[in-house]
Structure 1
Amino acid sequence: TIVAMMQAGDRNEFRRAFAGATVHDFFNWLSVLILLPLEAATGVLYKLTKIVIDSFNIQGGDNAPDLLNVITDPLTSAIIELDKTVISDIATGDPAARNKSLIKIWCKTENITTLLNITVPSAANCTIGVPCWVEGNKTWTQINVTETINLERCNHIFAYANLPDLAVGLILLALSLLILCTCLILIVKLLNSMLKGQVAVVIKKVLNTDFPFPFGWVTGYVAILVGAGMTFIVQSSSVFTSAITPLVGIGVISLERAYPLTLGSNIGTTTTAILAAMAAPGETLANSLQ
């Protein structure tokens, strides 16, 4: 829908692009309205996926190499780093973690353990194997106290900002939307400049022509396969649908052809989740795939 809004300058293009975006929106809404109550009432999707995964007989093993993070980490680490320890503590229900910042400030720390003498009410409160003695009317014992020393700050842009998490989140959200809208506008401008004249006529004819009789019914299924394949290549249904929406707007792809392409895109995007699940630890791989 946001992509379609980028073509609001031309009434006809906006009408076609918005219709193409609505096809995708309604498919998602109908999927939720139908499948969510069905799953909540019967658990059929859980049972079906469990049967499929069990048939693979997946065994635990070594963790998969983290290939994607090797590419993305340098960029994301330069923008912001999150404290995974705080995230884990919040996930496990530690109430103290909710008051901690999710933004990682110190990337290099050192834990120093010191042996301290403390008083306890009586010798019964001493730990077995730990020195315990009485001086006057006080009972003493020893405990290890660990203190974290901050050595080196992180290098991301918010390490020295001293901003609350909410402010950082809003800044990143605004920057993300700005970059997204800029890219979408550039996509529309690029497609409008490239797909004109005879090129647009040829592409329109190729994309919107049905197979000859009696194989016309196959055309939609081929379009589904094309949509799934292209989405698998770019690993994002949002990117694919954002690309075809301007094409619908400028009339290169018909609305009837956009529908099977959208269906294929939603099928192809499942491969992204499968690839992400395959990066899970060996002992949780089956659950991740399911």
Structure 2
Amino acid sequence: MAEAVSPSTVATGKNNWLQWLMVAGLVYLLICAVGMIGNGFKAATGDQARELFAFAVNPFAGLVVGTIATALIQSSSTVTSIIVGLVAGGLPVSVAVPMVMGANIGTSITNTIVSLGHVRDKEEFRRAFSAATVHDFFNLFSVLIFLPLEIAFGLLERLGKLLASPFYDAGSASMGGLNFVKTATAPIVDTTTSTLLSFGDQVGGVLLIILGIALIFLSINYVGKLLKGLMVGRAKEIMHTAIGKGPISGIASGTLVTVLVQSSSTTTSLMVPLAGSGAFGLKQIYPFTLGANIGTCITALLAATAVTGNAEAALQIAMIHFSYNVLGVLVIYGLPFLRNLPVRAAEWLGETAAENKAAALAYILGVFFVVPGVALGVTSLL
């Protein structure tokens, strides 16, 4: 005899479907918002986008802007989505590349702050702080390697263009394969754009940018909350199943979990308590954090599918974000003499912070705010 399905199970199933529909709606809203930013930036600046960001033509200034913005917002997905919209509106790709690199550094602050929850137990704090900052050091080393290559050769800009070009028809300004996304978002984006631009190009453009940024905050915030409720339990299962099974499994699971919860900060923060408790060692968790870097690229790639204006450049910067994170893993983790540098640095910092708690606070303020702020001030004077 078949078992009866309880009303609570049916209700839970319906509730889950409703939540998934809300997630889909918010992702749609996110893509619309990026399109609005692109239209607004283009209208507000005309052909003066490069002049507006002249201070960030210095790549170090761009890096600092990306770092501070992400540290304050605590969401690289939000910052990279905004960057995609700005590029679609005319921000030069060369200016945006260091900003994307900075977003990678800035997003590391969340799990570092989470590790402070273990501060009362010296040994737990040492393990947790080391696990949190291994992500920081990996991203810092990645910038040290790839920013000079980008300045000298335009490596990432060229690679991003190469990866984006197959999605465009020859001579076309729209993505051939993904054009249905642009078509689907056009009614809202075009209607909003025409309505706000009735106030004039500059005023309407600024209003479009403000509205787009607000909608990105709203959509990413609520998508994150919904996906945490739907997926965090499964994400923890994936972590427990895969983290200890080798580096490839760890990277793959970190990527998958981040795609599921749409937040690398959430992914890396999930593993900090596991490290603090001693359930996993630093070398087991390290590959998982690398996968989180790759998984977080999905938001910018989604955002780039429906922008108007310079759509090819928008996809290019999204591809740059993706290729930068993949290359970082291949180079730093793939080369034996580089692989353990972030681990050793994180272990040293964890031991230092465990002995002197003020060192942990000084590290967070210094790396994410003080040093970038001073650097921005200096570069603006040059």
Q: TM-score, normalised by structure 1?
A: 0.49
Q: Normalized per residue, which structure has more helix?
A: 2
RCO higher in structure (CA 8 A, sep ≥6): 2
Q: Normalized per residue, which structure has more strand?
A: 1
The structure with more radius of gyration = 1
Q: TM-score, normalised by structure 2?
A: 0.38
